[in-house]
Amino acid sequence: MKLVRFGAPGAERPGVWLDDRGTPEILDVRAMAFDIADYDAHFFTHWGIDRLRGLLMEPVQKRIAADGVRLGPPVARPANLICIGKNYADHAAEFDGAPPSEPILFAKAPTAIIGPRDPIRIPAGWTEADAEAELAVVIGRAASRVEAASALAYAAGFLALNDVTERRAQREAGQWYRGKSFDTFCPLGPFLVTADDVADPQQLGVRSRLNGAPLQEGNTRDMLFPVAQLIAYISRTLTLQPGDVLATGTPSGVGFARKPPVLLQPGDEIAVEIDGLGSTCNRVERA
């Protein structure tokens, strides 16, 4: 099942993306179940995905044509937007050398999240914005001190994420939070694909394209720490909350490591695609 949120920024409604009638449609979830307010912690905690399956069995459904409808990020603003650094050996090498011996955790501000087609807006004075194509995981139920062997049961689903990064801010600040957290620096979507529809999250192609030309090309099989290990590792420090988003790191080929560097410029279009999960595609603008 493909969960989407649609409508104006800040006023999105929960939906399900449907392709079964030839042209894409969106199930207007709130028009059928008024108490499903949004794809948030309450939704995931209260068997929300099971309830959507029930709505899809209803003989009379509220659907709208998807054409021309703005999609927001497929989940409501999470409590935590946790990221993993250098989770692919080839990216660690192009960044500054050796692969880490345990996961490197950092965060992006959840306020950076935007929809899959919204513009990335670079503030004046910053010239080193770069893209990072990543598989992201949405947590489905509270996870505290879980074992890796059972950790994937805590994932509600998977989606594409662009960990946009201002390299100068990342370099200068002595930590990564600032360079990662500019408004609009986290395109997400277009769909949250539920975990039952992702056969193996460690066998997914991950790629980015700048103005249509390939930039990154990797596969989640090359993660140093797979998704299950990451959930288990983080859950030993903090309780992951339903609706939390975890960005699992980027493969090699990022723009700033190229010679010469390829950084995002106003007018560019940057896409991040994950096999089976669709792609974000965002125009770059000056804020």
Candidates 94-102, 118-126, 145-153, 159-167: pick the segment binding Mg ion (CB under 5 A): 159-167
* DSSP string across 203-214: S-EEEEEETTEE
Secondary structure (3-state) at 146: coil
Candidates 126-134, 148-156, 238-246, 253-261: pick the segment binding Mg ion (CB under 5 A): 126-134
280 near Mg ion, judged by CB under 5 A: no
Question: Distance between CA atoms of 36 and 78, rounded to whole angstroms?
Answer: 17
Give CA separation, 56 vs 20, 26, 35, 51, 140, in Å. Answer: 12, 11, 16, 9, 20
Are the C-beta atoms of 154 and 139 separated by less than 8 Å? yes
The pair of three-digit structure tokens given for residue 263, joined into one six-digit string: 């950084």
118 near Mg ion, judged by CB under 5 A: no
Please, which residue, 32 or 186, has the CB nearer to Mg ion?
A: 186
87 near Mg ion, judged by CB under 5 A: no
> From the CB of 216, what's the least distance to Mg ion, in Å?
11
Please, which residue, 28 or 163, has the CB nearer to Mg ion?
A: 163
Are the C-beta atoms of 17 and 24 separated by less than 8 Å? yes
Long-range contacts of 13-19 (CB under 8 A, 24+ apart): 13/38, 14/38, 14/39, 14/43, 16/52, 16/55, 16/56, 17/66, 17/190, 17/191, 18/63
Cα angle, residue 226 at apex, residues 189 and 98 outer, rounded to 5°: 105
Please, which residue, 220 or 250, has the CB nearer to Mg ion?
A: 250
- Chain position carrying tokens 């339903």: 242
132 near Mg ion, judged by CB under 5 A: yes
163 near Mg ion, judged by CB under 5 A: yes
* Contact flags string 225-254 toward Mg ion, x per CB under 5 A: -------------------------x----
Cis omega before residue 260 (within 30°)? yes
Number of residues that bind Mg ion (CB under 5 A): 3
> From the CB of 265, what's the least distance to Mg ion, in Å?
20
Candidates 16-24, 88-96, 161-169, 190-198: pick the segment binding Mg ion (CB under 5 A): 161-169
> From the CB of 230, what's the least distance to Mg ion, in Å?
13
> From the CB of 240, what's the least distance to Mg ion, in Å?
18
Candidates 5-13, 69-77, 157-165, 261-269: pick the segment binding Mg ion (CB under 5 A): 157-165
Q: Which residues form the interface with Mg ion (CB under 5 A)?
A: 132, 163, 250
